[in-house]
Amino acid sequence: MSTSSYQNPLIERYSSKEMSSLFSDETKFRTWRKLWVALAEAQMELGLNITQDQINEMKHNIDFINFEDAKRFEKETRHDVMSHVKAYGVLCPKAKGIIHLGATSAFVGDNTDIILMKKGMDIIIKKLVNLINNLKEFAIKYKDTPTLGFTHFQAAQLTTVGKRACLWIQDLLLDFYDLEYRMNNLKLRGVKGTTGTQASFLSLFDGDHEKVKKLEAKVCEKMGFKESYFVTGQTYSRKVDYQVLSTLSSIAQSMNKITNDIRLLQSLKEIEEPFESNQIGSSAMAYKRNPMRCERISSLSKYLISNTLNPALVFSTQWLERTLDDSANRRISIPQAFLAVDAILEIGINVTDGLVVYEKIINKHIEEELPFMATETILMEAVKRGGDRQELHEKIRQYSMEAAREVKQEGKNNNLMEYIEKDEAFMLSKEDIDAIMDPKNFIGRASEQVVEFIEYEVNKVVSQYKDYLGIKVELNV
């Protein structure tokens, strides 16, 4: 389907309908109306001349958003909030005189932003836990499967496939804790008035400070929040946006690291992301199985990480009680951050639900490198049998250099153990060496760490969201 206007790929290709719907115009303006109802209802309960009939009329028309009227009014007023006040008034003739009473634009704008961000984080945390749970199951399955560890992408001591997955989970748990903290500590902007002093509401209630405080508390409660920020200017501090988007960026950082690891392992043919039977890896090279899902996560992660600069700049350049140079930026940067992290986690759930492990290739790579890593154990065992430590050390050094030369220059298999087996100074038979060379002798406590980590930390997080587990994601592109 062709179109003559730009379509946002985050909506058209990547993010879920759930997240794109949350940041839609319908949800935004419906939330504005819910806030106007909450404000009017609280004002009525505290004694202002507002009737239940007016409240009922407003409630009845929350979902009937007359966009054409709002568009016409905005063309006249050049003010988005006032255009929707007027549009709502068209549908609520009895209540139009009390809609937005005493409020400034930030009452609906800022409070709605907070509400949507909190709902967005609720979507994100459930998907994050599903991703963690997928990796948990993977880690348990492969907790005892030895694999080469890598430092500097050079072969290092052995670990296990499951232990490596726990490194990924650890990063995601740190993100979970940050996200949970942000969710639990996010507050409404509240009912603060033009410059945050609540002067207009104090006037409405004839100087009664207690009623102004109760008004704010009631609105918070009606909108599902325990409290609002004690002090604001016309807007809540834009540092809040930075804190929230930084947490989303942190998830992107973790996912980029994880998928980079998977891409490296796929290049080694050890682990592979899901690859469908009719999927094409390359338009030219028919044999290729490119890690396109992990690459897509990496690509979106770069966008989200860089997007965090937007709220940092917005916050740091605000003037006094407020300036409007935040508005256009926030309309783009906040929704797109949530759409991007949603897409990243959706793809991540799909990838981790179908990771393929090629154990024979992993074992082949271990066999190529383990002889070098086993030399210290070989040395200790030979010394126990009466060998001279210094003499044997020099022999191992020489044999290692020769074996490495043959591997690199002649393409031979690593035959270091054959040299040692033939040298009577080591006093080790082939059976002795084979027993020492069992890869499981070189994984330390990797298996135990997987079990302990999952039992004592991962399961506590997963159990909190057990009712939301089982999310399956089918990718359409």
**Domain definitions of the chain by residue range:** 375-436
Q: What pLDDT does residue 289 have?
A: 72
pLDDT tens-digit map of 230-270: 999 999 999 999 999 999 999 999 999 999 999 999 999 99
- Distance (Å) of CA 376 to CA 80, 387, 392, 396, 404: 73, 14, 11, 9, 17
Let me know: does 271 contact 234? Beta carbons within 8 Å.
no
- For 175, other C-beta atoms within 10 Å of its C-beta total 23
pLDDT tens-digit map of 20-33: 999 999 999 999 99
Q: Write b or e for each residue in 131-168: b if 16 or more Cβ atoms lie within 10 A of its Cβ, otherwise e.
A: bbbbbbebbbebbebbbbbbeeeebeebbbbbbbbbeb
As a whole number of angstroms, the distance between CA 346 and CA 340 comes to 10
Q: What pLDDT does residue 282 have?
A: 47
Q: What pLDDT does residue 280 have?
A: 45
CB contact set of 344 (below 8 Å; sequence gap of 6+): 251, 252, 255, 297, 300, 301, 304
Nearest one of 97, 91, 100 to 61, comparing CA atoms: 91
DSSP state of 145: -
Class of domain 375-436: mainly alpha
Q: What pLDDT does residue 471 have?
A: 86
Q: What pLDDT does residue 388 have?
A: 86
Residue 6 CB-density burial (10 A; 0-12 exposed, 13-18 middle, 19+ buried):
exposed
Low-confidence ranges of the chain (pLDDT < 50): 277-280, 282-288
Let me know: does 452 contact 380? Beta carbons within 8 Å.
no
Q: What pLDDT does residue 374 have?
A: 82
Write out the catalytic residue numbers: 152, 282
